[in-house]
């Protein structure tokens, strides 16, 4: 069903903006740029999910049961990486897939990785090309840049259906260039760059209600041939009392196309 949700937009500023991670050497200690809360109307695409296409919309929702049941330790990663690679080959036409990061998020006060509650996209063009070099080295990165490549996220609920803080997206064609701003990511050992999003009442928000662990959202966060990428954020549903905390896994991949 359609919902009203609270999200945190970024604020346009002449000053440099950044997230700083593990501040003062404390894991999970985060310093954030200025954010402003806003209420948005979010459409449920559960009955229209087949109308979304990766090439035109930058996102697809697919049924995809995983054989992995426990996402703790490291023993699960090889099997899950192969599942993700196979899914992206069959689901979006990838030629090569490199899985390079998994983030398990739990919406509890003491969780080290909570759902991301800022409206953003995971890469700017500068950040994407630097990450490409970080992952592959300059020679292979140059080879990738001669063809089509992208960064693609695969998001899956864990353990139970999502009943609170679902993941929401903005339709790319409802955004303007002025909505975007660069935000630095400063880690203890490296630096990246994402895109923050400023508030705009014309944004068309959508989500898929009651997603289960047998469903995934595959969404584009960068493409060097201009495939749409999606601003997204966890949604705090207005008036909802969370019965169970949201648990999810987000897998980041580098994808090469024909």
pLDDT reading at 211 higher than 80: yes
The pLDDT, as a whole number, for residue 96 is 98
Using alpha carbons, select from 202, 245, 234, 248 the residue that is nearest to residue 8.
234
Q: With contact defined as beta carbons under 8 Å apart, do 232 and 131 qualify?
A: no
pLDDT reading at 28 higher than 80: no
pLDDT reading at 127 higher than 90: yes
Widest Cα–Cα separation across the chain: 52
Can you give the residue ranges of every domain in the chain?
Answer: 3-256
Question: 29-38, 44-53, 119-128, 194-203: which range is least confident on average?
Answer: 29-38
The pLDDT, as a whole number, for residue 16 is 83
How far apart are the C-alpha atoms of 27 and 141, rounded to whole Å?
Answer: 31
The pLDDT, as a whole number, for residue 84 is 98
pLDDT reading at 57 higher than 90: yes
> Taking residues 140-157, what's their average pLDDT?
98
The pLDDT, as a whole number, for residue 21 is 85
Whether domain 3-256 has CATH 2.60.120: the reply is: yes
pLDDT band at 1 (very low <50, low <70, confident <90, very high): confident
pLDDT reading at 243 higher than 80: no
pTM of the prediction? Answer: 0.94
Reported as a single tens digit per residue, the pLDDT across 170-209 is: 999 999 999 999 999 998 888 889 999 999 999 999 999 9
What phi and psi, each to the nearest 5 degrees, are found at residue 154?
A: -120, 120
pLDDT reading at 255 higher than 80: yes
pLDDT band at 234 (very low <50, low <70, confident <90, very high): very high
């Amino acid at each position: 069903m359609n919902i009203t949700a609270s999200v945190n937009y970024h604020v346009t500023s002449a000053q440099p903006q950044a997230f700083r991670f593990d501040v003062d050497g404390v894991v999970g200690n985060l310093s954030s740029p200025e954010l402003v809360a806003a209420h948005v109307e979010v459409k449920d695409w559960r009955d229209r999910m087949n109308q979304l296409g990766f090439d035109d919309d930058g996102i697809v929702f697919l049924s995809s049961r995983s054989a992995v049941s426990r996402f703790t330790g490291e023993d699960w990663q090889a099997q899950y990486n192969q599942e993700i690679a196979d899914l992206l080959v069959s689901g979006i036409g990838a030629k090569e897939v490199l899985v390079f990061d998994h983030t398990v998020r739990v919406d509890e006060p003491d969780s080290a990785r909570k759902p991301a509650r800022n409206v953003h996209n995971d890469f700017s063009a500068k950040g994407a090309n630097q990450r490409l070099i970080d992952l592959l080295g300059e020679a292979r990165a140059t080879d990738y840049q001669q063809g089509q490549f992208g960064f693609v996220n695969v998001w899956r609920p864990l353990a139970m259906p999502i009943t609170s803080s679902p993941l929401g997206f903005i339709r790319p064609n409802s955004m303007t260039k002025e909505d975007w701003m660069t935000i630095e990511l400063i880690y203890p050992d490296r630096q990246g760059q994402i895109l923050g999003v400023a508030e705009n009442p014309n944004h068309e928000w959508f989500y898929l209600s009651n997603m289960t662990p047998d469903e995934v959202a595959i969404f584009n966060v960068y493409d060097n041939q201009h495939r749409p990428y999606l601003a997204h954020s966890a949604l705090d549903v207005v008036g909802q009392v969370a019965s169970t905390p949201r648990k999810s896994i987000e897998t980041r991949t580098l994808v090469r196309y024909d």
